[in-house]
Amino acid sequence: MLFFRSEDAVDRWCARNGMARGESLTITQLWELSKRWYHNRISPDYHGRTLSEIVTIFEEIGLTSPFWQPPKA
Amino acid sequence: MIDRDQVLWEIRAFIFSHFVDSTRPPSVRAIAQHFRLSEAEAYGLMVELHNRHAIYLDLEARHIRMANPFSGVPTAFHTIANGRSYTANCAWDSFGIAAALHCDAQIDARCADTGEPLALGVRDGQAIAGQELAHFLVPFRHWYDDLPRT
């Protein structure tokens, strides 16, 4: 994941590198995702999370497009 | 005889604690010495953590490449927090370090298109940003196909 100044910058970078565009998050969304994903990461009690828990995190910050769907079992 | 599962998660905690305290990953030897294991036993448990997606090893170099959000190898992503400069794996993990440490942070960020510096960070639990974006190239269903590329 990379930082960009703007959506135009994302488009230019993808075109220059021959990459299909993915999805952009605002920094506020990224921070909300970071808090939910990493808040307990250095705890000795953290042993990972389930796909269902991951999908819930995505949904909480509005990431519901096919891009954020889990792999099929 | 060791309780493999208990030691496994204790090793995970040791790895993350080492990153927090030193900004760097512990070596196989350091892990072996701390847990009074042979290096072969320690590395075997590290590979098990890798297989469970708890850490990501460079299997050729036998080195911890990622313990997300921390990076064990140089990258272009740096987070200054608690007076230390941590190396992150990507844009997301730059903020992830602040979230994991529960502290303010200065994010050393540049626009991937132009290289211009971006003033990003976390202060009092809020993200500091303007109109900047983080771009995710790989859909979630493929994140673990090639984690370093993701």
Choose the closest CB to B136 out of A1, A48, A69: A1
Name B41's bridge partners.
none
Query: How do residues B34-81 score in pLDDT, each as one tens digit?
Result: 999 999 999 999 999 999 999 999 999 999 999 999 999 999 999 999
Q: Which two tokens stand for residue A42?
A: 């250095």
- Who has greater pLDDT, B111 or B6? B111
Measured in angstroms, the CA of A22 and the nearest CA of chain B are apart by: 4
**Separation of alpha carbons B103 and B146, rounded Å:** 30
Q: Does residue B27 have a pLDDT over 90?
A: yes
Choose the closest CB to B133 out of A4, A12, A67: A4
Nearest CA in chain A to B141: A71
| Cα B131–chain centre separation | 26
Q: Does residue B10 have a pLDDT over 70?
A: yes
Q: pLDDT averaged over chain B?
A: 94
N- to C-terminal Cα distance for chain A?
Answer: 25
Kindly state the average pLDDT of the residues B104-125: 96
Report chain A residues touching chain B, CB-CB < 8 A: 1-7, 9-10, 12-13, 16, 19, 21-28, 30-31, 33-35, 37-39, 41-42, 44, 47-48, 54, 58, 66-72
Choose the closest CB to B135 out of A4, A37, A66: A4
pLDDT of residue B82: 97
Q: Does residue B145 have a pLDDT over 80?
A: no
Angle between helices B28-35 and B4-22 (to 10 degrees): 120
**Interface contacts A/B by beta carbons within 8 Å:** 153
Nearest CA in chain B to A35: B99
Which residue in the block uniquely carries the two structure tokens 């991951």?
A54
Cβ contacts of residue A69 below 8 Å, gap of 6+? Answer: A55, B139, B140, B141
Measured in angstroms, the CA of B108 and the nearest CA of chain A are apart by: 11
Residue type, B62: R
pLDDT of residue B1: 56
Write b or e for each residue in A35-51: b if 16 or more Cβ atoms lie within 10 A of its Cβ, otherwise e. bbbbeebbeeebeeeee
What are the mean pLDDT values of chain A's consecutive 10-residue runs (73 residues total)? 97 96 96 97 93 94 94 78
Name the helix (H) or strand (E) containing B77.
strand B77-81
